[in-house]
């Protein structure tokens, strides 16, 4: 992957997010429906991108646990938009040749009747690149 400074700039450009606006109140993480399943929570994504500590995020399963429901965006008092950062990091991984976490044809086998439709749509957004 590109050097760390270029990768950080690419993620910030793709997301349109200014992580310096974050005051680390944790409201984004407190409202996240996937909080218990995530290795890195929304506020941690923001901080890690801000500091350029992106390599662990590229390897994290949290990229694929995020529902992209934007609950974190709605709760942020500073309009930081953590979900957009998660999406930008996910896209950086997907852009690497062969680095897709899941292929679209794998998704039907993973569905269960209790899965919300939003999760299905989100999965196709994440993996259909």
In the numeric block, which tokens belong to residue 39?
Answer: 């290795």
Q: Which residues contact 28 (CB under 8 A, 6 or more apart)?
A: 41, 42, 43, 46, 72, 73, 75, 76, 80, 82
What are the domain boundaries of the chain?
A: 4-101
- Model confidence over 63-113: pLDDT tens digits? 989 988 999 999 999 999 999 999 999 888 887 755 556 667 777 787 777
Q: Identify the CATH assignment for 4-101 out of 1.10.3720.10, 1.10.1060.10, 2.30.110.10, 1.10.490.10.
A: 1.10.1060.10
- Model confidence over 40-57: pLDDT tens digits? 999 999 999 999 999 999
Q: What is the pTM of this model?
A: 0.73
In the numeric block, which tokens belong to residue 34?
Answer: 């996937």
- Model confidence over 11-43: pLDDT tens digits? 999 999 999 999 999 999 999 999 999 999 999
């Amino acid at each position: 992957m590109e050097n760390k400074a270029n990768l950080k700039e690419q993620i910030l450009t793709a997301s349109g997010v200014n992580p310096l606006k974050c005051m680390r109140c944790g409201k984004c993480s407190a409202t996240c429906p996937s909080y218990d399943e995530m290795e890195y929570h929304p506020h941690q994504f923001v901080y890690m991108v801000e500091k350029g500590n992106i390599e662990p995020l590229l390897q994290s399963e949290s990229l694929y646990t995020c529902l992209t429901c934007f609950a974190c965006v709605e709760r942020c008092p500073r309009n930081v938009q953590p979900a957009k950062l998660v999406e930008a990091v996910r896209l950086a991984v997907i852009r690497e040749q062969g680095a897709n976490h899941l292929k679209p044809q794998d998704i039907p086998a993973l569905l269960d009747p209790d899965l919300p439709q939003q999760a299905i749509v989100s999965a196709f957004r994440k993996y259909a690149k």
